[in-house]
Amino acid sequence: MENTQPITVDAKKFIFAMALLQRPNTKECATCKTYNVGKENNLKFCAGCRSVCYCTTECQKSHWNIHKTTCKIVTAFKKAIALPEEQKFSLLTNLIDNTTFVIKNGEKQIKVRPVYGVIKSKEEKRISIDFLVPTPMRDGSVEDYPIYIRTGDKDYKNMKDKDDLVVTESHMNFKFSYPLRNKKEYYFRFESPDGFTKGDIVLMLCKMYKVVYAVDDASSFIDTTNSETEMMSGMFSNGYYGIWGHGIEDLSMDSIDCEGEVWGMSISS
């Protein structure tokens, strides 16, 4: 049966995002850097993420050990994008509401989905949670420092009180706005029936940032990476999120704060 429901602005954003992720951000072979254009172009996209090109099967196989992490993240993210339950777009939601992006912390599984907005609660609760990791200094002393986003999924194991249950609700709505151009805001919803420990929160936010950077790079037509495939500081992208100014290695997370139903992050760079 044909879907006769009109497409709203939010649905158009979803379709546009999907279209961006289906286009390559380069005309070079990711392995041998062969450059092909016009009728002689024999480059083929990676079938999974479609964010890089290869000229031969041999080039693709030799590049897989380097590319597989980004490929799996982008592919999982494309399947995970979902619309809020209060927005009834039957055609789109039927395609995606059975797929979930899952972050694992031991035996615990935290479900994640991007959303286009959060309904504000009438209850104006305010909570602040700090994240500090004991860090050895050159003089032999130990000082507490914020979690670095790039290495947080490993560093959180040394964090103070990582197993403390700090959020008892079954979901958390996070606002993502830094470092994005034009004061953009995006929301991610994390779901866990057992609530969230400090370790859970660090793990899922660091993972979220890595996914955002990977998707932005895959959908950008400006080369913003260096030899380590990290976004270079001072650059900006024209990708889906529009990251500017900072590579992920620049970012550290000091704390998170909740106002109503929306959590925000204090990010240093």
DSSP string, the chain: ----SPP-HHHHHHHHHHHHHTS-S-SBBTTT--B--GGG---EE-TTT--SEESSHHHHHHHHHHHHHHHHHHHHHHHH----TTS--HHHHHHHTT--EEEEETTEEEEEEEES--PPPSS--EEEEE-EEEEE-TTS-EEEEEEETTTHHHHGGGSTTTT-EEE-SSEEEEEE-TTBGGG--EEEEEE-TT-EEHHHHHHHHHHHHHHHHHHHHHT-SS--B-TTS-BPTT-B--SSS-BBS--GGG-EEEEEEEETTEEEEEEE-
Please report the pLDDT score of residue 82 as a whole number: 39
Among 180, 126, 146, 135, which residue's Cα sits nearest to residue 266? 146
Select the highest-mean-pLDDT range: 46-50, 85-89, 141-145, 219-223. 141-145
Could you tell me the pLDDT band of residue 220, with boundaries at 50, 70 and 90?
low
Span 105-115, pLDDT tens digits? 777 777 766 65
Per-chain mean pLDDT for the chain? 66
At 170, the pLDDT band (50, 70, 90 cuts) reads confident
| pTM score of the predicted model | 0.56
Q: Give the range among 9-13, 31-35, 115-119 with minimum mean pLDDT.
A: 9-13
